[in-house]
Amino acid sequence: MAIASNDLSSNSLFSLHGKTAILTGASGFLGRTFCRALLVNGARVVALGRSERLQTEAAAWASEFGADKIAIERIDMYDVVALNELCDTIATREQRVDILINNAGITRRAPAVEFSVEDWNDVIAMNLTSVFRLCQSAARPMLERGYGKIVNIASLLSFQGGITVPSYAAAKGGVAQITKALANEWASRGVQVNAIAPGYMATELTQALQNDATRNRQILERIPAGRWGSPEDMAGAAVFLSSPASDYINGHILVVDGGWLAR
């Protein structure tokens, strides 16, 4: 539904009040940033993550925003059946789920000729298969209601091939294409499916690159902004694509990269 022309304040455009969001990968730096950004803008968040740090932060968020604003679910992201069942349980318990952010992800590094089948399968299962299956599960009630926001986390490797990360590149390329394919089917039924492609972010997934003096220098030389991104740089994009401000955006891959692709 289009925003009324007389209601274009930031409070209306970007408000998530009354919305419930499912966020995967909530334990990592990026996931915790997404979680707080959603909470600050009014959403109730069901965060999927397993770390003790997430449990500690959730207690602090409950104190800050209200105990009814945050719930933590521990789940094996490789267990597709359990994921589907959890989505159904959350949808029933919460009455409605308005937002899904597919943030969970892993990476494995090795030269392509040495890349193991186990590493290939693990990365594809986590970064691609779970994304598709969660989109399916979350979309069913969204489509019935005629409203929903799905935000997938893509990558610069949705556009580029990378080095020594063949399964990650394949998975993130797939995330971009799934995002477009689902948008084609669901946009006319009120469900927006978009993705964010982070650039080089200073998180645990890129620690090996940050620690490699040569690669770190090469990366920084290409980023016009002159620095690695931080999880906080991603917060605005996540709120935007989860909010009414993005109601006419469908199948878009929003790049947040400090200018890397423009170079």
Residue 200 falls inside a structural domain:
yes
Catalytic residues: 168
Residue 184 falls inside a structural domain:
yes
Percent of the chain with pLDDT over 70: 96
Per-residue pLDDT band for 1 (boundaries 50, 70, 90) equals low
Residue 52 falls inside a structural domain:
yes
Burial status of residue 230 (CB atoms within 10 A of its CB: 0-12, 13-18, 19 or more): middle
For position 136, which CATH number holds?
3.40.50.720
Q: 184 with 191: CB under 8 angstroms?
A: no
Closest to 25 measured CA to CA, from 157, 127, 129, 174: 127
Number of domains, the chain: 1
Residue 1 falls inside a structural domain:
no
The torsion of the CA quartet 46, 177, 142, 244, rounded to 10 degrees, works out to 80
Residue 43 falls inside a structural domain:
yes
| pLDDT reported for residue 181 | 98
Residue 2 falls inside a structural domain:
no
Residue 4 falls inside a structural domain:
no
Q: 166 with 209: CB under 8 angstroms?
A: no
Domain enclosing residue 152, as ranges = 10-256
- The kind and range of the H/E element at 191 are strand 191-198
Task: Give the contacts of 201 (CB within 8 A, at least 6 positions apart).
Answer: 30, 228, 229, 230, 231, 233, 234
Structure tokens at 21: 């969001």
| pLDDT reported for residue 37 | 97
Average pLDDT value over all residues in the chain = 93
| pLDDT reported for residue 7 | 67
Above 70 in pLDDT, residue 209?
Answer: yes
Instruction: Report pLDDT digits (tens) over 53-106.
Output: 888 888 999 999 999 999 999 888 888 888 888 888 888 888 889 999 999 999
- What span, in angstroms and rounded, lies between the C-alpha atoms of 43 and 207? 31
Work out the average pLDDT over 8-33: 90
Sheet holding 148-153, edge to edge: 70-73, 44-48, 20-23, 99-102, 148-153, 191-198, 253-256
- What span, in angstroms and rounded, lies between the C-alpha atoms of 256 and 252? 13
Work out the average pLDDT over 113-124: 98
Residue 88 falls inside a structural domain:
yes
Task: Give the contacts of 86 (CB within 8 A, at least 6 positions apart).
Answer: 48, 73, 75
